[in-house]
Amino acid sequence: MLDRLGRLLCVHAAAPSRTHEADTAPVPDRPGDSLLDRHWALAPAHLDARSARARGLDGGERIVAALDTGVDADHPDLRGRVLPGGNTLAQDADTRDRDGHGTHVAGILGASGADGIGGAGLCWRIRILPVKVMDRGRGYDAAALEGLARAVRHGASLVNMSLNSGDSRLSPFYERAATWARNQVAWIVASAGNGGTAVTQPANTPGIIGVAAVNREGRRCPWSNHGAGVMLAAPGEGILSTLPGGRWGLHSGTSIAAPFVTGALAMLLESQPGAPRERVLALLRQTTRPAGDPGLGAGILALDRLP
């Protein structure tokens, strides 16, 4: 069937709509950790989020889309900043999060800080646009591609795709989607994948910023994909963030590393208004410190190096 479609003059490319999954991994057991210990990623020795906040950088009120499993809009640390979204799996407006992955990603992006409850995310004023492209941690390429278009058409200048197909081949569909998004002045960040091998779709797509995961020691998590296709690495092991029902909890994975880079990019765009895309990319690559693992393929995000 795909061969016949590909021979039609009106069809430029055809491929199966593969399943994709939320990029999560087991959370390491660290007995004795306090809640503060479990917020290690934002500490001065790692991302150093405090240095960015001291300069007033928090991404502003830009719209950031989370293509994920939905978001709990009633979570106390997210309430009031989650926009009405959509569901490209069920083709309706239901963006409730049934498994917590999307809410966890949203909390890393922008859980409110300095409010006396819970913890904090990177950007305290951004508006989060939930686009549900997965349920129970699984979805399809078709839903992700439609979700990307929906997000950009609804005003998202940044799209976080914490999902992965496990396919290392380049997808013409993700390539076209990335080119289209770029023409709309939108940015896409995606998780590199958790197979411990080469970067897979959609993070391996030219024009999409692929993110690997590192641990507290600054070394690649053994399950994180790596090498060509990774632009940056970020904390992705045992990360504390929001969960449905007003809760906080831990997740690991390149899914969890990606929103740190998305949030940092929001800050960078805020500090460099009107900068050409190539300039922003160059600055983003410089907002890193050397990795302890040469095979990682990129530096590790460091917010104190934001220009």
Residues annotated catalytic, as ranges: 68, 101, 255
287-291 CB contacts, 8 Å cutoff, 24+ apart: 287/232, 288/232, 288/233, 289/218, 291/214, 291/218, 291/219, 291/220, 291/233
Amino acid occupying residue 28: P
172-183 and 141-153 helices, crossing angle to 10°: 0
Largest CA distance in the chain: 63
In this structure, what are the phi and psi dihedrals at residue 210, rounded to the nearest 5 degrees? -90, 140
Quote the CA–CA distance of 214 and 229 in Å, as a whole number: 16
Phi and psi for 195 in degrees, rounded to 5?
-90, -5
Closest CA to 268 of 181, 158, 107: 158
From 163, 151, 140, 164, select the one nearest 90 (Cα to Cα): 140
Cα atoms found within 13 Å of the Cα of residue 160, Cβ hemisphere only: 39
CB 70 within 8 A of CB 61: no
Q: What is the DSSP string of 76-115?
A: TTTTTSBPP-EETTTTBS----SSSHHHHHHHHHH---SS
Assess contact for 288 and 298: CB atoms under 8 A: yes
For the chain, the residue count is: 307
